[in-house]
Amino acid sequence: MELFTAVRNCGLPFLFFVVFQSPSLAAITTELAPSTPSPSRLGNVISWRANSNDINAGSLLYRFSAGPANGNLRVVKDFSSSNQFDWTTIDSEGLYVIQVDVLNQATGEIATASSPYDMLPIAGQDPVVSATENPLVFIYSAPPCTNGGKMQVNFSRADGFCPLQTTKALPCRSGSTMNFYLAGMQANSAYLVEHVVTQPTSPTTAGPLMQFTTGDVPTAITSLSAAKQQVLQSSFSAATDWILLQGPINFPPFATDLSGNIIWYYPQALSFLTRPDVDGRFFGIRNTGPDASGSLLRIFDLAGNTVQETNAAAINARLAALGKRQIGVFHHEARRLPDGNIATLGTVEQILTDVQGPGPVDVIGDMIIILDPNFQVVWTWDSFDYLDVTRKAVLGETCKNSGACMSHFLAPDGNDWTHANAVQQTPEGNLLISLRHQDWVVKLDYENGNGDGHVLWRLGNEGDFTIQSDDPNAWFSHQHDANFLGDNVTLALFDNGNTRRASDPNANSRGQVLVVDEENRTVDLLLNQDLAVYSVAVGSAQRLPNGDYHFDAGFVGLSAISFEVTRTGNIRRAIQAGFPEYRTFRMPDLYSGLD
């Protein structure tokens, strides 16, 4: 008898099909083995392997979790066919628990093994600066400080050439050392560093001033076409957001200063660097292989360590349990929501007959998936359930004629119907989704996770709003990265302009800022900047602290150009990368994330 069952291990739920068999057949045995015996120092990467056997037929999947022995475990690597993973932490010294759950896909049986592991401090009575495998990233470790206070670390180039940087302030712990990643530094340069402790009732104190030197950026990074940076237009005005985080398509992401010098990199290729997370972490998507198991959603830290990772196949098991359509791959978006959950996009497919063409046609849409911090599905939205499937892609894109489809599996070609590329939770708690091939930005009923997903409005040509402009082609088309600002009225996006370009071969891409009056269903253009280049795909938009706007024209020929545009429409800065880039972001440091 086959029943749908929920099994919970150490607070981590997993939904799957269980086949009830006699107890004598329940015979998965598993053990965990670390590459380095316990103990090890904070920051050292430990490779873990699960050695498992099952007398029953069926392929095995492995999920790894980790956490302090006196706390909760968190999924680090979701169910996959890989029986090993790398793990480290700099949070605090002490005893940790590593756990593996082993699932037999054929029988539904699951076995769990765990192992304690002791992490030792780096610092003793004095602070210590230690290297990581990334020559531009270091660990600063300081002795404990008194509870109730906060510690942060300041560092800058010894010659004063670059801005002073400050890590996030961490609450003091009297029983544990304080550890920070230092990142955002030029290669082969001497840096000065010290920590500062603030207490509510005591004077601020500082640690000793220390010096260290960064190393070379590997040739694998400097030889990237995208790493060939050219400043097309510079500005004498100082910029607090002096870092440009760049995500070249299908290559390792990196960050530069505004002169194009590399100050940080991630060593692995990503299909999409989607956004910075908080606390020096980042979201990325990597799609490889012939099926959903090769589509990875990953959160990683400044040192390049994977903090958490899931894959589309693991999410599909949970979607199936909820009676939802399966996804093909993750794509274009992964970001943290205000409540700590994660929003991402997945492709969905359906064969429709005589709807978007004669006979059966593979139609490719999108699903928004909201995941909790342990990758459980808590909310979904499926384009097939809420949009008019008879409204084809505006320019008739198919996978073969556009070359821009995500992986699809039901037919050799398919109609690239929606091609979503951004999701945002709006300030009042609903969701905004950018649908490139519909030329629409659509607002959905989310209500902080309690909404039913119905369409609240459609912004764009043939949508629900009137745009008040003398420009006959004022509406955006094939747009990217639409986001409301904090006032929930001002909307910034990158207007690729493909639909305008289809009728006017001289049309360029634009940076747009719109003022949206939801009550009266009208839109005014606050900024409609012709960028004098045409980006056929990708792009991003961001308001900067000085009131200017940042736009990434991500696919200009075989290059990308990041612009800073003033509120009055003057281009203040322009930096060109030698390869297309999905998104770029201006940041004051690598710790803060984005507003």
Whether residues 176 and 116 share a domain: the answer is no
CA distance 350 to 373: 30
Whether residues 102 and 174 share a domain: the answer is no
In a domain, 595, yes or no: no
Average pLDDT of span 326-348? 97
Domain boundary among 69, 92, 120: 120
Is the Cβ–Cβ distance between 550 and 585 less than 8 Å?
Answer: yes
Average pLDDT of span 4-30? 44
Is the Cβ–Cβ distance between 64 and 100 less than 8 Å?
Answer: yes
Total domain count, the chain? 3
* Domain ranges, residue 462: 219-587
CA distance 309 to 300: 9
In a domain, 593, yes or no: no
Residue 8 has pLDDT above 50, yes or no: no
The whole-number pLDDT of residue 595 equals 67
- Both ends of the chain: CA-CA distance in Å? 51
Domain boundary among 62, 88, 120: 120
Q: Cα–Cα–Cα angle for 300, 306, 312, nearest 5°?
A: 90
Whether residues 113 and 134 share a domain: the answer is no
The whole-number pLDDT of residue 12 equals 41
Q: What is the pLDDT of residues 214-231, one digit of tens each?
A: 999 999 999 999 999 999
Average pLDDT of span 88-103? 97
Look up the CATH number of the domain holding residue 163: 2.60.40.10
In a domain, 592, yes or no: no
Phi-psi region of 535 (alpha: psi -120 to 50; beta: other; left: phi over 0): beta
Q: What is the pLDDT of residues 347-362, one digit of tens each?
A: 999 999 999 999 999 9
Look up the CATH number of the domain holding residue 37: 2.60.40.3880
Q: What is the pLDDT of residues 64-79, one digit of tens each?
A: 999 999 999 999 999 9
Is the Cβ–Cβ distance between 299 and 276 less than 8 Å?
Answer: no
Cis peptide, bond prior to residue 39, ω within 30 of zero: yes
Whether residues 85 and 167 share a domain: the answer is no
Whether the full predicted model's pTM is greater than 0.85, yes or no, is yes
Residue 140 has pLDDT above 90, yes or no: yes
Provide the sign of the torsion angle of the four alpha carbons 42, 376, 56, 111, taken in this order: positive
Whether residues 256 and 147 share a domain: the answer is no
Residue 237 has pLDDT above 80, yes or no: no
Whether residues 229 and 197 share a domain: the answer is no
CA nearest to 494, candidates 477, 513, 480: 480
Is the Cβ–Cβ distance between 113 and 103 less than 8 Å?
Answer: no
Percent composition of the chain: helix, strand, coil (DSSP 3-state, to 5): 5, 50, 45
CA distance 123 to 141: 5
Q: What is the pLDDT of residues 481-497, one digit of tens each?
A: 999 999 999 999 999 99
Whether residues 86 and 200 share a domain: the answer is no
Percent of the chain with pLDDT strictly greater than 70: 95
In a domain, 594, yes or no: no
Average pLDDT of span 469-485? 97
The whole-number pLDDT of residue 5 equals 28
Dihedral Cα 340, 341, 344, 347, nearest 10 deg:
180
With a CB cutoff of 8 Å and minimum separation 6, the contacts of 403 are none
Whether residues 290 and 387 share a domain: the answer is yes
Whether residues 229 and 166 share a domain: the answer is no
The whole-number pLDDT of residue 25 equals 45
In a domain, 436, yes or no: yes
Whether residues 416 and 269 share a domain: the answer is yes
The whole-number pLDDT of residue 15 equals 38
Residue 523 has pLDDT above 50, yes or no: yes
Average pLDDT of span 287-305? 96
Q: What is the pLDDT of residues 429-451, one digit of tens each?
A: 999 999 999 999 999 999 999 99
CA distance 103 to 18: 10
